[in-house]
Amino acid sequence: MVAKQFSGAKAKFIKRVSKERIEFDTALIEKRKLLLGIKGYCTNLPASQLSSKEAVERYHHLWRVEQSFRMSKYDLEARPFYHQKEEAIRTHVLICFLTLIIEKYLELITQMSLRNIRLLVWNITESHIRDNVTGETFKFTSPATELMKGI
């Protein structure tokens, strides 16, 4: 780009000296060399409340939050939704959030991935629930069984 004197869109390390001339931004290059390998973490919590080590540890666990957002968008199909009233939108988001909490709880308790939990649940064909008061047992057939028969 410098040889052709053509500055493309958002070219790093290149600065315009005049309307017709561009050159390497050597000051910026040197600054970047000095900062190579250094990473900073910024927080609004005082050191008395959160140590530097804890701040870095929390940052390293940020991927879990991002994973939850991905799961809520794709796995829970939280988007797109076509509600128009604010109450319906809030209810939809609440249901998706509660589902996320339940799925996260199941992952933590069972130490299994969400995919494996889903495979297990999908393969459940029948549930038996016993009423402890009456001693009566109720049998429920999974709708998945009927779907599979239809296929």
Note the pLDDT tens digit of each residue in 74-114.
665 556 667 778 888 888 778 877 888 888 888 888 898 87
Q: What is the pLDDT of residues 106-145, one digit of tens each?
A: 888 889 887 788 788 777 778 899 999 999 999 988 766 5
Nearest-angstrom CA–CA distance, 22 and 54: 45
pTM: 0.40
